[in-house]
Structure 1
Amino acid sequence: MSKRITPFASRYCSTLDRLKEAIRRKRPGLLRRGVVLQHDNATPHSANLTQQWLQLYGWEILPHPAHSPDLAPSDFHLSGPLKRHLGGMAFETKNDLISELRNWFDNLDVDFFRVGINSLLSR
């Protein structure tokens, strides 16, 4: 690892330390069940130091395709309403969250998706 990369990876690992502590305080038990992160391919995320940190704590990283844009098309239309819907909710299990997500998607009007898809044309 080059000296230029080390400060960024070190800072990112400090951020992960703070995240781990916040999870421990706010969501007891979640650390035992496992943490899954979505990273892009930024240097601090792929640095050896970061990879060692993730391996030490057993955190899983979802794969991120090379040259993938930071925002998926769904981020433009879907994320905001979904975030507002889930705001303030707490889920006991992953299955409870999945059930709520399925319910939310099942109750969306077809026009919601049509508007979202059509808005991509102007972007």
Structure 2
Amino acid sequence: MSKRITPFASRYCSTLDRLKEAIRRKRPGLLRRGVVLQHDNATPHSANLTQQWLQRYGWKILPHPAHSPDLAPSDFHLFGPLKRHLGGMAFETEDDLISELRNWFDNLDVDFFRVGINLLLSRWQKCIDLHGD
């Protein structure tokens, strides 16, 4: 692994640490049953450091074909509503943008996320039925 990639993989592993802690607090049984994570094939996700982290905690990865935005919930379910929400807004500082994003995410109904995951299941099935086409 090159030195240039290490900080990104390290940051991603820190994010996974925070996710693991949030799951431990909110859904402890999930950690005992096992976590299945979906992420794409970006370098920080496939780096040795990340793979070692995943192996250490026994988390499994849902395969994600390269260049498949139709299988990434952020692409097919999140970004559209987020773009509509932010449309026409202007921010003085990066902190203002971050504050607005946090506010938007905090006010999303839990069903928003449930719908996205359910859509993922049907999209995966369609991909399987069409043999990846």
Bin for the TM-score computed over the shorter chain: 0.5 to 0.7
Aligned length: 123
User: Structure 1 43/32 Cα, relative in aligned 2: closer, same or farther at 3 Å?
Assistant: same
CA distances 1:7-31 after superposition (whole Å, capped 9, x unpaired): 0000000000010001000112110
Unmatched 5+ residue regions in structure 2? 124-133
- How big is the shift at 1:83? 17
Q: Tell me the SS of whatever aligns to 1:63.
A: coil
CA distances 1:25-83 after superposition (whole Å, capped 9, x unpaired): 01121101000011111111000000000000000000011222266699657999999
Unmatched 5+ residue regions in structure 1? none
Q: Tell me the SS of whatever aligns to 1:88.
A: coil
User: Structure 1 105/16 Cα, relative in aligned 2: closer, same or farther at 3 Å?
Assistant: closer
- Farther-moved stretch of structure 1 (39-48 vs 96-105): 96-105
User: Structure 1 97/54 Cα, relative in aligned 2: closer, same or farther at 3 Å?
Assistant: farther
TM-score (norm 1): 0.58
Q: Residue 72 of structure 1 corresponds to which residue in structure 2?
A: 72
CA contact (8 A) 2:12 2:45 kept: yes
- How big is the shift at 1:99? 36
Structure 1 vs Structure 2 CA RMSD: 12.2
Q: Tell me the SS of whatever aligns to 1:29.
A: helix
User: Structure 1 11/56 Cα, relative in aligned 2: closer, same or farther at 3 Å?
Assistant: same
- Farther-moved stretch of structure 1 (37-46 vs 70-79): 70-79
Large movers: runs of 4+ above 6 Å: 77-123
CA contact (8 A) 1:35 1:59 kept: yes
CA contact (8 A) 1:40 1:70 kept: no
User: Structure 1 36/122 Cα, relative in aligned 2: closer, same or farther at 3 Å?
Assistant: closer
Structure that is richer in helix per residue: 2
- How big is the shift at 1:101? 28
